[in-house]
Structure 1
């Protein structure tokens, strides 16, 4: 591995900081765009709060396979895409 040296001249601290921030924002934007398909996982409490339902109702929906749950170790998690799709799913006629 070769060592690279970067020498900066004729810039002030504020301009240097702004250049770094712009670079970091670009990298994060690209990362987010590339990983759009990755769902965020929510706890039971977060899921119930987002759906404005009780934990008992969430348990019943999970038990009846209305919303899938994912076990990670001893924890239960719900995918964001499943949470978003649930109101549409519940309002559909069979």
Structure 2
């Protein structure tokens, strides 16, 4: 089996730790920002009910964001607002 270097990030985490450290000016290489935040929500949630609630907020944020990207310019600000609003709530 090929060993993966520690410098490569999500989705190829190589550390077996339940903690997610996003501080200390560390760079995390990710391929899908939404999948990464889904991972963070799952690791930070204390129980299944909280995980489901925060996951649904993150999913709504993702849908609003993708809809905003495909919408006319005049509609984008409101859709981005709802996306970031749901995203910020999902991060507690």
Give the TM-score category using the shorter length.
0.3 to 0.5
| Higher share in strand | 1
Larger Rg: 1
TM-score by length of 1: 0.32
